Amino acid sequence: MRFSIQREALLKRLQHVVGVVERRQTLPVLANLLVVVDGSGVALTGTDLEVEMVARTEADDLDAGEVTVPARKLFDICRALPDGCRIKFEQNGERVTVSAGRSRFTLATLPATEFPTIDSIELVERVALPEATLKELMDRTSFAMAHQDVRYYLNGMLLDLREQALRCVATDGHRLALAEAKLESKVASPRQVIVPRKGINELQGLFETGDGVVELEFARNHLRVRRGDVTFTSKLIDGRFPDYEAVIPIGADKEVRLQRDEMRAALQRAAILSNEKYRGVKIEVAPNRVRVVAHNPEQEEAVEEVEARTGVSDLSVGFNVNYLLDALGAVTGDEVLLCLRDGQSSCLVRKPDSDDTRHVIMPLRL
C-alpha cells in the first residue's frame, strides 16, 4: 500500500480526524487511524467507539490497501514538515514509512482488521441545511450543555427535528439555551435525538462559515453528518430529554429592553466583586434603568447602572453572572430583551423582534 500527497491536503484531513482519537485508550488500536487507499484516493478514519470521523482526499501514485497507524504521531510529523512539501506514504510489512524530502519516519502499525468501524446505519430521516446555519445553532446553545452530570441525558445537545424546523437545545438544569432554524422542505417523521457532548464539540470544530451544505442523517441509534469529503457519525445518548418547552416562562410580562454590549460590560465589571463561589449579581429594575449590584464575603460592593426601556418598577432578582453573560453573548443584534415575571421567577433572554434564539436562566437566592 502506498500513496503520495501534498502536505497541506493531508494535514487538513488529519486535523478533522485526530480530534476524535482519545489520548488514553482501553484498546491500543483506538490510538491509531485507519488509512484506506483505493482507486479514488485515501480515506482516514478515527474513532473512540462513540464518535467516528472519516475524511477523504485525492492522492497520487496509489497502490490499494489498508492499515492503521499512530494518529497523534502521524499528525505531529505532518505538522512539523515544511510547507509545500510532498509526502510519500508506503507500507513495508508491519511498518509504514512516511518520507518528505530528506526526512524519513518509520511507524509501527496494527492490522486494519482490528479497527472498529460503523459501517451501515438504519436511516430514518435525512435533512439538508446550510453549514453556517447549523454551526450558528450549535454555537448559540452548546455552552449550556451539562458536564459530567449524573443526569447523563443532559451531557449533550438535543436536536429537535420538527415538521419544518430544526431546534438545538441544551440545558444543565440551571439554564437553558434554544436556537431554531427553518428548513426548506417538510420533514416526513419529526424526532428528537441527543448527541453527546464530544460529538457536538467535534462538529463545531469541523464546521466553517462558508456557503456549503451539510446533510444530517438521523438513524435509530446514530446521527451521521456529511460535509463534502468528511463524514461524521456519533452514537446517540439513550435517554429522555426534559420537556424544555415547559421551562420557558409563561406570563413573563415585565420586559426590559437594553443595549446588549452596554449590559455585558456592566455585568463584567460588577462580576469582579461578586462571590467567587456563587458568582451572584442582583438585577434591580426601575423605570428606564437597571442596576447591577454585586457583593462578596469581604463586604465589598459593585454597583452599575444601565439605561433601559422599561416601565417596570421595584423588581429585584438574583442571577449567576456567568449565565447572564453567556446568554447575552449568544444573542445577536444591538438590543436584547429580558423578560421577567417576579422576584423568584426565571429570566427569558431573547432578541426584541425574534423567538429564534431563547435563553432561560434560573434565579439565584442572594
pLDDT tier at 137, thresholds 50, 70, 90: very high
Q: Could you tell me the pLDDT band of residue 122, with boundaries at 50, 70 and 90?
A: confident
Q: How far is residue 111 from each of residues 91, 189, 267, 280, measured CA to CA in Å? A: 12, 41, 56, 55
Q: How far apart are CA 366 and CA 348, in angstroms?
A: 19
- Contact present, 200 and 176 (Cβ < 8 Å): no
Grid cell of 345 as nine digits? 421567577
d(CA 188, CA 186): 7
User: How far apart are alpha carbons 8 and 208 in whole angstroms?
Assistant: 18
pLDDT of the residue at 226:
95
CA distances from 4 to 39, 41, 86, 363 (A): 13, 10, 7, 59
Which one, of 19, 2, 231, 260, lies nearest residue 119 by Cα? 231
Distance CA 173, CA 154 (A): 8
28-40, pLDDT tens digit by residue? Answer: 999 999 999 998 8
pLDDT of residue 100: 97
CB atoms within 10 A of CB 10: 24
Encode pLDDT of 154-163 as tens digits: 999 999 999 9
Burial of 165 (0-12, 13-18, 19+ CB in 10 A): middle
Are 70 and 99 in contact by the 8 Å Cβ rule? The answer is: no
pLDDT for residue 76 is more than 90: yes
3-state secondary structure of 13: helix
- Assigned C-alpha cell, 321: 453572572
For every residue of 44-61, DSSP letters joined together read EEEE-SSEEEEEEE--EE
Place of cell 435509530: 220
- Angle between the N-to-C axes of helices 131-141 and 321-330, in degrees from 0 to 180, rounded to the nearest 10: 170
Name the pLDDT band for 141 (thresholds 50, 70, 90). very high
> What does the alpha-carbon distance between residue 27 and residue 31 come to, in Å, rounded to a whole number?
8
pLDDT at residue 11 greater than cutoff 90? yes
> How big is the chain, counted in residues?
366
Q: Could you tell me the strand order of the sheet in which 41-47 lies?
A: 65-70, 32-38, 41-47, 51-57, 230-235, 222-227, 213-219, 123-130
325 pLDDT tier (thresholds 50, 70, 90): very high
pTM for the full predicted model: 0.92
Structural domains in the chain plus CATH codes: 2-114 (3.10.150.10), 123-245 (3.10.150.10), 248-361 (3.10.150.10)
Phi, psi dihedral angles at 98 (to 5 degrees): -115, 115
Cell of 183: 428548513
pLDDT tier at 105, thresholds 50, 70, 90:
very high
What is the average pLDDT across 102-124? 92
Q: Looking at the DSSP assignment, which residues form a beta bridge with residue 163?
A: none
Whose cell is 524519513? That residue is 104
Composition of the chain by helix, strand, coil, percent to 5:
20, 45, 35
Residue partners of 122: CB distance under 8 A and separation at least 6:
219, 220, 221
What average pLDDT does range 316-330 have in this prediction? Answer: 97
Mean pLDDT value of segment 267-273: 97
Return d(Cα 235, Cα 20) in angstroms, integer.
13
Mean pLDDT of 297-310: 96
Q: How confident is the model at residue 293 (pLDDT cuts 50, 70, 90)?
A: very high
Residue 351, pLDDT > 90, answer: yes
Q: What is the tens place of the pLDDT at every residue in 226-248? A: 999 999 999 999 999 999 999 99
What average pLDDT does the structure give for the chain? Answer: 94
Residue pLDDT, tens place only, 164-182: 999 999 999 999 999 999 9
Mean pLDDT of 313-330: 96
Write down the pLDDT at residue 225. Answer: 96
Q: Is the Cβ–Cβ distance between 252 and 348 less than 8 Å?
A: yes
**Long-range Cβ contacts of 271-278 (<8 Å, 24+ apart):** 271/321, 271/322, 271/325, 272/302, 273/300, 273/301, 273/302, 274/302, 274/321, 278/320, 278/364
